[in-house]
């Protein structure tokens, strides 16, 4: 592409990628492009031109280490630079070695935490960079390090910023915050309906499955809800929550505020804190029961009852004050944990088996919000099917006895999934954002999530190279339904915001800064 002065090894960019690049070059820009349509290719085009015109080094920031590794591999293939001119930087590399790599490398790929810490400690000079790419740019709000790195870059040089996202979010305030923080002067938006994009879009059929709760689960939930409402009534009488609707988010925010007030002299508030904590725990228990299945609820509630932690014991003491508590215990005791049906597991398994029977090479991802659920689903599939070869895929952090996966373990599992050793990936949110997971035929939401961004990212795991299916499992009358409609409403609002932003950008002046002067 001589006229646009970039060169990519072994590939020809698509028409819409060239069109986008032509419009964003030399401007601080955000590119909004549906999942799977090659945002990284556009970033590589910008990196290539920056280096060819000797405008400075290139920094590529991504929010997670697996994403950093993925983008580095892509850039190595596309840019064709000598190995010594490119590097991945992590906190595991000692400061002296990082300083040398910052100095000698033309392209640096790292997390924003590494970039900000090294910048703050004066390990590198940000003024030597001509382009910084911010992947998943919707994160550039508040005190996230993207914001701090961008501000220093704009102060030092005011060259080119490129933000990439498939899902900028439903809040117009956040969109405005992002554009302001990054000095954005061009927002280039492509949707699935644009003529130059449409021919690359594969059909994705979305199926909503509504499931009736087992009778014993509904009975336990009704009693649990009664105890929860009694605790909320106690909190309302205390004057802490004057309104009628109290959500878990309200409770968590109130817990922090009241703890601070109690420590700062309002000692009478200490007696309220255990009730707030009990309400939060009971709400989690209710969510596990009505959305995840009886087993995860049973394990959680059993841990509460037998815990030696004082805070947990205070929660149980509060529950014991309710006349419904003994009824709850009796219902739990009469349920055989091995016989309580979990319809979501059986329906998810049926969907997987039908897909594999149609196509023995099918690849399927099941998303679960909770780690414990991913463990339960993986075990259930392994026990009940010879067709399905499941593997659990979680993040690197460890939680008590649940040990996270190392980066090398994550890479190994993805390659085994790609090569057919496993045909079903049972994954938590770590698989939603950006990871180089092979194209899948079917995506199953074990539960809806109330986030538009996460919903789009989950759904975007299929339909990349061929038509795909999405199945969203919901329990009737549960918060699953509320989460489903919340995500849908936010996604519709996001689309409206994108259209509005598109219109506003068309009216805006072409540039704000005098670049490359």
With cut-offs at 50, 70 and 90, classify the pLDDT of residue 511.
Answer: very low
Top-tier CATH class for 2-200+497-507? alpha beta
321 versus 461: the higher-pLDDT residue is 321
Do 506 and 240 touch, CB atoms closer than 8 A? no
Chain region(s) in the chain for CATH 3.40.50.300: 2-200+497-507, 204-212+341-476
**Architecture of domain 215-334 in CATH?**
Up-down Bundle (1.20)
Enter the pTM of the model: 0.83
**Beta-strand (E) ranges in 151-203?**
160-165, 186-189
Distant-in-sequence, close-in-space partners of 458: CB < 8 Å, separation ≥ 6 = 367, 432, 443, 445, 449, 470
What pLDDT, in 10s, does the model give residues 204-248? 899 999 999 999 999 999 999 999 999 999 988 888 776 667 888
Q: What integer pLDDT is reported at residue 2 of this predicted model? A: 54
What pLDDT, in 10s, does the model give residues 58-84? 999 999 888 898 899 999 999 999 989
Q: What integer pLDDT is reported at residue 505 of this predicted model? A: 53
C-alpha–C-alpha distance, residues 513 and 438, integer Å: 41
**Beta-strand (E) ranges in 85-169?**
86-89, 107-110, 129-135, 160-165
What pLDDT, in 10s, does the model give residues 287-313? 999 999 999 999 999 999 999 999 999
**Architecture of domain 204-212+341-476 in CATH?**
3-Layer(aba) Sandwich (3.40)
- Residue range 141-157: average pLDDT? 92
3-class secondary structure, 423: coil
User: Taking 70 as the threshold, does the pLDDT of residue 133 lie above it?
Assistant: yes
Instruction: Quickly count: other Cβ atoms within 10 Å of residue 80's Cβ.
Output: 12
What pLDDT, in 10s, does the model give residues 422-440? 999 999 988 777 566 777 9
C-alpha–C-alpha distance, residues 55 and 162, integer Å: 15
User: Taking 60 as the threshold, does the pLDDT of residue 515 lie above it?
Assistant: no
Instruction: Quickly count: other Cβ atoms within 10 Å of residue 39's Cβ.
Output: 26
The DSSP code for 330 is H
Chain region(s) in the chain for CATH 1.20.1320.20: 215-334
Q: What integer pLDDT is reported at residue 516 of this predicted model? A: 26
């Amino acid at each position: 592409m001589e006229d646009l002065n970039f060169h990519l090894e072994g590939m020809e960019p698509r028409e819409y990628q060239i069109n986008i690049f032509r419009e964003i070059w030399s401007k601080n820009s955000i590119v909004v492009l549906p999942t799977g349509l090659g945002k990284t290719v556009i970033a590589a085009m910008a990196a290539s031109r920056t280096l060819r015109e000797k405008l400075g080094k290139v920094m590529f920031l991504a929010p997670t280490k697996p994403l950093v590794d993925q983008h580095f591999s892509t850039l190595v293939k596309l840019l064709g630079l000598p190995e010594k001119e490119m590097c991945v930087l992590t906190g595991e590399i000692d400061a002296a070695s990082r300083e040398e790599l910052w100095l000698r490398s033309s392209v640096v790929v790292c997390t924003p935490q590494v970039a900000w810490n090294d910048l703050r400690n004066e390990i590198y000079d940000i003024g030597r960079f001509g382009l910084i790419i911010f992947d998943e740019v919707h994160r550039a709000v508040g005190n996230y390090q993207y914001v701090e790195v961008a501000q220093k870059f704009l102060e030092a040089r005011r060259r080119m910023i490129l933000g990439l996202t498939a899902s900028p979010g439903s809040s117009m305030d956040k969109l405005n915050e992002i554009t302001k923080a990054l000095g954005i002067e061009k927002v280039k938006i492509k949707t699935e309906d644009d003529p130059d994009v449409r021919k690359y879009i594969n059909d994705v059929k979305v199926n909503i499955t509504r499931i009736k709760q087992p009778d014993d689960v509904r009975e336990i939930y009704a009693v649990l809800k009664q105890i929860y409402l009694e605790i909320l009534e106690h909190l309302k009488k205390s004057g802490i929550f004057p309104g009628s609707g109290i959500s878990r988010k309200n409770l968590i925010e109130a817990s922090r505020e009241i703890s601070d007030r109690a420590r700062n002299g309002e000692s009478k508030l200490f007696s309220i804190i255990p009730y707030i904590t009990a309400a939060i725990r009971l709400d989690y228990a209710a969510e596990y029961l009505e959305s995840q299945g009886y087993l995860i609820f049973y394990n959680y509630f059993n841990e509460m009852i037998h815990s030696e932690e004082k805070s947990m014991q205070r929660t149980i003491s509060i529950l014991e004050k309710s006349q419904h508590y003994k009824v709850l215990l009796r219902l739990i005791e009469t349920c055989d944990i091995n016989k309580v049906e979990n319809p979501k597991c059986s329906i998810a398994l049926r969907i997987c088996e039908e897909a594999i029977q149609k196509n023995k090479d099918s690849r399927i991802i099941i998303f679960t919000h909770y780690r414990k659920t991913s463990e339960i689903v993986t075990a259930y599939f392994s026990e009940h099917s010879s067709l399905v070869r499941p593997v659990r895929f979680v993040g690197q952090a460890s939680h008590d006895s649940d040990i996270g996966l190392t980066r090398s373990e994550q890479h190994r599992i993805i390659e085994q999934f790609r090569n057919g050793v496993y045909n079903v990936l049972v994954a938590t949110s770590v698989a939603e954002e950006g990871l180089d997971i092979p194209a899948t035929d079917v995506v199953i939401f074990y539960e809806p999530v109330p986030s538009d961004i996460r919903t789009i990212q989950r759904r975007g795991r299929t339909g990349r190279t061929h038509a795909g299916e999405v199945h969203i499992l919901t329990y009737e009358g549960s918060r699953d339904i509320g989460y489903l409609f919340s995500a849908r409403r936010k996604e519709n609002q996001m689309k409206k915001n994108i259209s509005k932003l598109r219109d506003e950008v068309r009216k805006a002046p072409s540039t704000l800064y005098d670049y490359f002067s």
